[in-house]
Amino acid sequence: MSIDTPPITPQQYEVLHGGGAEAAEIAKQRLSRRRFMRRSMLAVWGLSTTAAVAGGLAMLYPNVAAGFGGLVTVGKKTDFPAASKSSDFKKGFTGVFYNQNARTYVIHLAANTSFLLPSAVLGDQLQSETVVKDADGSYWIGLYQRCVHLGCTVPFRDDCSSFKCPCHGSHYNVTGEWLDGPAPRSLDRFSIHFSGSDVVVDTGVLNSKVPHPDTNTRLIAAPTVACSAGG
Ligand code: FES
């Protein structure tokens, strides 16, 4: 059915062909219907076009996506002073930083960090644990706050330089590697990258496949100080 020729009844047809005021009224109604239908079509077209343009912009500029589940700019590089020695990691000051929007601990290891692995295999192990090496030689990790045992939020403990879950005691190194407790693997980690001087965590890309480490895969030594009972 064409929008220009809405149907008319046989009676209207007769009147139209007879002319007069009644015919004019019917013609007016037909014109109104045509305008209404055209405007409706234009409105639908406008909404479709707006949705298509928005989708295109999201593809062209993925950094526009924000909030948990997407890209989260957590701060400038200078907001995260690095640490190397186990005892230097202090939440919010050096080496370990929490970002609520990303639900992530940003870990910044200094360039002189002592890794346990030889350089021949270190690069691959860092990559498999989503540890990003920066141009200045330091290392960044975005650890998801969620305990991989049953999902409690894991706090970082300054007193023992590690993550200790308050629910059932799972214990993780500052790099998120499992130390002890019922957790089936190491902490999960988000992809992390830089945009100029900004540090960006991609909370849509989660590495949940870092197993319990062994002597061939553990990156750094376990802390030597035990966590206090009340901490
Ligand atoms: S939820 Fe963390 S140890 Fe059980």
**pLDDT tens digit at each of 231 positions of the chain:** 444 444 544 444 444 444 445 544 544 555 455 554 565 554 444 444 444 444 444 444 444 457 999 999 999 999 999 999 989 999 999 999 999 999 999 999 999 999 999 999 999 999 999 999 999 999 999 999 999 999 999 999 999 999 999 999 999 999 999 999 999 999 999 999 999 999 999 999 999 999 999 999 999 999 999 998 866
Residue 166 CA, ligand 1 centroid: distance in Å: 7
Kindly state if the Cβ of 165 falls inside 6 Å of ligand 1: yes
Q: Which numbered atom of ligand 1 lies nearest the CA of 182?
A: 3
Kindly state if the Cβ of 182 falls inside 6 Å of ligand 1: yes
Kindly state if the Cβ of 147 falls inside 6 Å of ligand 1: yes
Question: Ligand 1 atom 1: the closest Cα is on which residue?
Answer: 150
Q: What is the pLDDT of residue 32?
A: 56
Q: Which numbered atom of ligand 1 lies nearest the CA of 183?
A: 3
Alpha carbon dihedral 105, 69, 182, 125, in 10-degree steps, equals -70
Please tell me the distance from the alpha carbon of residue 165 to that of residue 169, in angstroms, as a whole number. Answer: 5
Q: What are phi and psi of 66, to 5 degrees?
A: -140, 165
Mutation test of ligand 1: which of 167, 172, 180, 186 has the most ligand atoms closer than 8 Å to its C-beta?
A: 167
CA 228 vs CA 47, 186, 208, 224: distances in Å: 60, 22, 29, 12
Residue 44 CA, ligand 1 centroid: distance in Å: 51
Q: What is the pLDDT of residue 60?
A: 43
Write down the H helix ranges in 9-158.
10-18, 20-60, 119-128
Residue 4 CA, ligand 1 centroid: distance in Å: 68
Please tell me the distance from the alpha carbon of residue 70 to that of residue 87, in angstroms, as a whole number. Answer: 33
Kindly state if the Cβ of 161 falls inside 6 Å of ligand 1: no
Kindly state if the Cβ of 150 falls inside 6 Å of ligand 1: yes
What residues contact residue 73 under an 8 Å CB cut-off, 6+ apart? 66, 195, 198, 199, 200
Amino acid making up residue 184: P
Query: For the whole model, what pTM was predicted?
Result: 0.73
Residue 73 CA, ligand 1 centroid: distance in Å: 28
Amino acid making up residue 95: G
